[in-house]
């Protein structure tokens, strides 16, 4: 290991500790412990180009241990991204470019928002799937157009999370050889020793999942770390490099959990400086360090990027068709303009909205070659699958991702695919089990990613399977999550519109679409234009209405029948279909007032928790208890979702 490595690592350790102490907040433990890992990765391996932050074939670096943000910001600063020393000095402050945890879309060079442990590893699996698929599609002899690595830095906590087991198990099965996880193995976590909670043999566990495993005993030895990364690059399997480090290396309380997340007192920073014999002024990277990064990250990375551009140019001459398609993928230049052949439905016909969802998705997949995804072992129920067969080592061009019963990883992987660029990722499961993956939808929403989450079995009408399978509060959960568009379409027209809209380019939010298990009538009054406005009037009585019933999903047909019965009794009620509260809330006030007039008394009807509807309605007919196992034909009566019962409830509570 050369003296310049030592100088760089010392600088990262001291400046990192100083920045955190100055911020009075942050995590010095990982910065001091893992500095040699990221230094080695960046200066000897990672191919990134600060000239072209979004270079398509850059290596992806995923800081799954998001609490190590200070380390990442320093790396990006030294690697030529537009993060100044002033930005670093503003660490974790209001409005800074260097917030508490890495935020995608906020700080240049940050590949993904991390902080919730485990999400990073799982999304990295998605990045690796995307890289492998695109490589199989576009690479030609002598032209490795997509052949980057996905590197992860994770800690003990990341690996304790269930999502990591799900994701790593799938990555091993799929043989994602370009995925390299660098494990900052320091035997310490927030509350104390890892041994207080873990006894398993990580090496055997990881190997049994189909991974290559390499151990580096001395986490301060950059040469050893580098050799391990080299070996990982040549593996035919995903690789975990477990690197033994000492948390808070050089701090008086190194090796203890107290150094994990508390800024070091000034005296401790002084001791650190003394321990490392570091004499530069405060908050200063010496010129030698800057020069080293300039040559070994910036120039090296830019040169690799330039070569790639030349190679793509030659490819464009040799492989004209492929090049054109590559550009379409890279710039997401796909739009469904010609909708001929899209399944259509006669008014009065009946079909479950999950069947419609599956058919529309198949249609979209057959026309948009960049769409990839699948289900969590529920394809037969959700009807959601990708095209071109099952993706895997035997069929790297398959677009049907069989996630297995791994919902949480599935959703985070979908985020990783979407983040990668070039592909549109989707996934699917039973709506009630969206609980298992909610944190990943939240990540998509925070990152403004257009990931797609399709669910079936969206109400208690699931029936026989009972309360564990009958969603109640899940609709509320997604509607309450900022920046999530939840669509609950009523019939084939609404479902088709919602699906087509979800695949439009340019959305800066994830879309969740729910569908019904049971068949519903396809209505003459539903309209695609109304769907994308979030809510619209579907029924007006023959005389001016003074009431509105607002509803969505499969309850729309019921509410129409209720409105007709009310009309027969000289009570005049509009019916509003509201497939998306998110989109409706974004409409101009004038439109909102026209759909839900201020002088109307409003009743909302939905087979789910009542809570979200009070924003719009005076009275809500919903279900605020768990479901019960019984055939569907008993469900409607049990919960009062029949025409007569809703009619009576209207008369007794609204009129």
DSSP state of 47: -
Strand segments, DSSP code E, in 397-518 are: 424-430, 452-456, 485-487, 511-514
User: CB under 8 Å to 257, separation ≥6 — which residues?
Assistant: 29, 188, 189, 190, 191, 192, 193, 247
Strand segments, DSSP code E, in 515-583 are: 519-521, 536-539, 547-551, 573-577
Beta carbons of 64 and 118 less than 8 angstroms apart: yes
Q: Cα–Cα distance between 88 and 103 in angstroms, integer?
A: 15
Q: Which residue has the tokens 């910036």?
A: 298
Picked from ligand TPP, Mg ion, none, the partner binding residue 30 (CB below 5 to 8 A depending on kind) is ligand TPP
Asked if 112 is part of the footprint of ligand TPP (rule: CB under 6 A), the reply reads: no
Asked if 92 is part of the footprint of ligand TPP (rule: CB under 6 A), the reply reads: no
User: Catalytic annotation on 161?
Assistant: no
Binding residues for ligand TPP, rule CB under 6 A, total 17
CB of 127 to ligand TPP, least distance (A): 20
Picked from ligand TPP, Mg ion, none, the partner binding residue 158 (CB below 5 to 8 A depending on kind) is ligand TPP
* Binding test (CB under 6 A) with ligand TPP, winner from 20, 35, 65, 573: 65
CB of 8 to ligand TPP, least distance (A): 21
Picked from Mg ion, ligand TPP, none, the partner binding residue 541 (CB below 5 to 8 A depending on kind) is none
Work out the burial of residue 340: count CB atoms within 10 Å of its CB; fewer than 13 is exposed, 13-18 middle, 19 or more buried: exposed
**Closer Cβ to ligand TPP, 66 or 131, answer by number:** 66
**Closer Cβ to ligand TPP, 259 or 559, answer by number:** 259
CB of 567 to ligand TPP, least distance (A): 53
**Closer Cβ to ligand TPP, 34 or 174, answer by number:** 34
- List the interface residues with ligand TPP, window 146-185 (CB under 6 A): 155-158
CB of 630 to ligand TPP, least distance (A): 37
Point out the catalytic residue in the list 111, 407, 494, 555: 407
Point out which span in 188-196, 219-227, 304-312, 506-514 binds ligand TPP (CB under 6 A): 188-196
Beta carbons of 251 and 267 less than 8 angstroms apart: no
Q: Cα–Cα distance between 276 and 255 in angstroms, integer?
A: 16
Q: Cα–Cα distance between 116 and 439 in angstroms, integer?
A: 8
Binding residues for Mg ion, per CB under 5 A? 155-156, 186, 188-189
Q: Cα–Cα distance between 549 and 382 in angstroms, integer?
A: 29
Residue 13: strand, helix, or coil: helix
Asked if 260 is part of the footprint of ligand TPP (rule: CB under 6 A), the reply reads: yes
Picked from Mg ion, ligand TPP, none, the partner binding residue 354 (CB below 5 to 8 A depending on kind) is none
**Closer Cβ to ligand TPP, 71 or 620, answer by number:** 71
CB of 165 to ligand TPP, least distance (A): 14
517 token code pair:
């298990």
* Binding test (CB under 6 A) with ligand TPP, winner from 47, 98, 169, 186: 186
Q: Cα–Cα distance between 316 and 159 in angstroms, integer?
A: 42
CB of 158 to ligand TPP, least distance (A): 6
Residue nearest to ligand TPP according to CB distances in the complex: 155
536 token code pair:
């619209």
Q: Cα–Cα distance between 182 and 238 in angstroms, integer?
A: 11
Instruction: Tell me, residue by residue from 113 to 152, as one string, x for binding to ligand TPP by CB under 6 A and - for no binding.
Output: --xxx-----------------------------------
Q: Cα–Cα distance between 484 and 440 in angstroms, integer?
A: 12
Picked from Mg ion, ligand TPP, none, the partner binding residue 210 (CB below 5 to 8 A depending on kind) is none
Q: Cα–Cα distance between 432 and 444 in angstroms, integer?
A: 19
**Closer Cβ to ligand TPP, 13 or 58, answer by number:** 13
Instruction: Tell me, residue by residue from 18 to 47, as one string, x for binding to ligand TPP by CB under 6 A and - for no binding.
Output: -----------xx-----------------
Residue 480: strand, helix, or coil: helix
Asked if 67 is part of the footprint of ligand TPP (rule: CB under 6 A), the reply reads: yes
Beta carbons of 391 and 373 less than 8 angstroms apart: no
Asked if 16 is part of the footprint of ligand TPP (rule: CB under 6 A), the reply reads: no
Asked if 188 is part of the footprint of ligand TPP (rule: CB under 6 A), the reply reads: yes
Q: Cα–Cα distance between 630 and 620 in angstroms, integer?
A: 24
CB of 261 to ligand TPP, least distance (A): 7
CB of 195 to Mg ion, least distance (A): 11
Residues in the chain: 655
**Closer Cβ to Mg ion, 156 or 521, answer by number:** 156
606 token code pair:
């939905």
167 token code pair:
């994701």
506 token code pair:
């340019």
**Closer Cβ to Mg ion, 28 or 386, answer by number:** 28
- List the interface residues with ligand TPP, window 424-443 (CB under 6 A): none
Q: Cα–Cα distance between 397 and 414 in angstroms, integer?
A: 17
Between CA 456 and CA 460, with CA 459 as vertex, the angle to 5 degrees is 125
Asked if 190 is part of the footprint of ligand TPP (rule: CB under 6 A), the reply reads: yes
CB of 225 to ligand TPP, least distance (A): 17
CB of 155 to ligand TPP, least distance (A): 3
Asked if 263 is part of the footprint of ligand TPP (rule: CB under 6 A), the reply reads: no
Nearest to 213 by CA among 163, 187, 245, 179: 179
Q: Cα–Cα distance between 26 and 99 in angstroms, integer?
A: 10
**Closer Cβ to Mg ion, 13 or 592, answer by number:** 13
Residue 642's CB is within 10 A of a number of other CB atoms, namely: 15
Residue nearest to Mg ion according to CB distances in the complex: 156
DSSP state of 59: P
Q: What pairing do the DSSP bridges indicate for beta strands 536-539 and 573-577? A: antiparallel
**Closer Cβ to ligand TPP, 191 or 644, answer by number:** 191
Point out which span in 112-120, 376-384, 426-434, 582-590 binds ligand TPP (CB under 6 A): 112-120
Active-site residues, by number, are 407
Q: What are the residues binding ligand TPP (CB under 6 A)?
A: 29-30, 65, 67, 115-117, 155-158, 186, 188-190, 247, 260
């Amino acid at each position: 290991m050369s003296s310049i490595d030592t100088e760089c690592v010392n600088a990262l350790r001291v400046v990192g500790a100083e920045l955190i102490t100055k911020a009075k907040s942050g995590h010095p433990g990982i910065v001091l412990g893992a500095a040699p890992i990221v230094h080695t990765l960046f200066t000897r391996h990672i191919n990134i180009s600060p000239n072209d932050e979004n270079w398509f074939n850059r290596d992806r670096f995923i800081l799954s241990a998001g609490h190590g943000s200070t380390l990442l910001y320093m790396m990006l600063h030294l690697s030529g991204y537009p993060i100044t020393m002033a930005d670093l000095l503003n660490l974790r402050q209001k409005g800074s470019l260097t917030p508490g945890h890495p935020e995608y879309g906020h700080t240049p060079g940050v590949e993904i928002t991390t902080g919730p442990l485990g999400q990073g590893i799982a999304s990295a699996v998605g990045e690796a799937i995307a890289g492998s698929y695109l490589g199989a599609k576009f690479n030609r002899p002598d032209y490795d157009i997509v052949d980057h690595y996905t590197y992860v830095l994770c800690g003990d906590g990341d690996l304790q999370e269930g999502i990591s087991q799900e994701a790593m198990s799938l990555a091993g099965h799929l043989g994602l050889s370009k995925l390299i996880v660098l494990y900052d193995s320091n035997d310490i976590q927030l509350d104390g020793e890892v041994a207080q909670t873990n006894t398993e043999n990580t090496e055997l566990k990881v190997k049994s999942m189909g991974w290559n495993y390499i151990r580096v005993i001395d986490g301060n030895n950059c040469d050893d770390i580098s050799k391990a990364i080299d070996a990982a690059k040549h593996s035919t399997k995903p690789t975990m490099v477990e690197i033994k480090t000492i948390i808070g290396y050089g701090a008086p309380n190194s090796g203890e959990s107290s150094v994990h997340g508390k800024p070091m007192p000034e005296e401790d920073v002084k001791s650190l400086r003394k321990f490392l014999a570091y004499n530069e002024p405060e908050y200063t990277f010496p010129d030698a360090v800057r020069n080293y990064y300039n040559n070994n990250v910036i120039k090296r990375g830019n040169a690799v990027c330039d070569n790639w551009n030349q190679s793509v140019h030659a490819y464009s001459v040799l492989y004209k068709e492929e090049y054109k398609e590559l550009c379409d993928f890279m710039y997401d230049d796909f739009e469904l303009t010609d909708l001929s052949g899209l399944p259509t439905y006669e008014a009065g016909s009946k079909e479950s909205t999950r069947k419609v969802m599956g058919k529309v998705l198949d249609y979209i997949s057959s026309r948009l070659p960049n769409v990839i995804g699948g289900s969590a072992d529920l394809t037969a129920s959700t009807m959601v699958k990708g095209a071109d067969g099952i993706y895997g080592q035997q069929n790297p061009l398959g677009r049907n991702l069989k996630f297995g019963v791994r919902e949480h990883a599935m959703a985070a992987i979908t985020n990783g695919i979407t983040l990668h660029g070039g592909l549109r990722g989707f996934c699917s499961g039973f709506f009630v089990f969206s609980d298992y993956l909610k944190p990943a939808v939240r990540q998509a929403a925070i990152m403004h990613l257009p990931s797609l989450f399709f669910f079936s079995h969206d109400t208690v009408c699931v029936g026989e399977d009972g309360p564990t399978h009958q969603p109640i509060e899940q609709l509320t959960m997604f509607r309450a999550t900022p920046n999530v568009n939840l669509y609950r379409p009523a019939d084939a027209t609404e479902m088709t519109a919602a699906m087509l809209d979800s695949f439009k380019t340019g959305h800066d939010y994830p879309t969740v679409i729910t569908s019904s298990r049971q068949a519903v009538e396809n209505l003459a009054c539903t309209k695609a234009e109304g769907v994308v406005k979030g809510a619209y009037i579907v029924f007006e009585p023959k005389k001016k209405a003074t009431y509105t019933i607002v509803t969505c999903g499969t309850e729309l047909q019921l509410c129409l029948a209720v409105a007709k019965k009310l009309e027969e009794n000289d009570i005049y009620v509009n019916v509003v279909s509201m497939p998306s509260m998110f989109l409706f809330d974004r409409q101009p006030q004038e439109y909102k007032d026209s759909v839900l007039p201020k002088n109307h008394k409003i009743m909302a009807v939905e087979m789910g928790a009542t809570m979200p509807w009070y924003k719009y309605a005076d009275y809500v007919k919903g279900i605020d208890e768990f479901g019960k196992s019984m055939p569907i034909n008993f469900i409607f009566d049990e919960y009062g979702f029949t025409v007569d019962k809703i009619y009576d409830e209207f008369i007794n509570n609204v009129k």
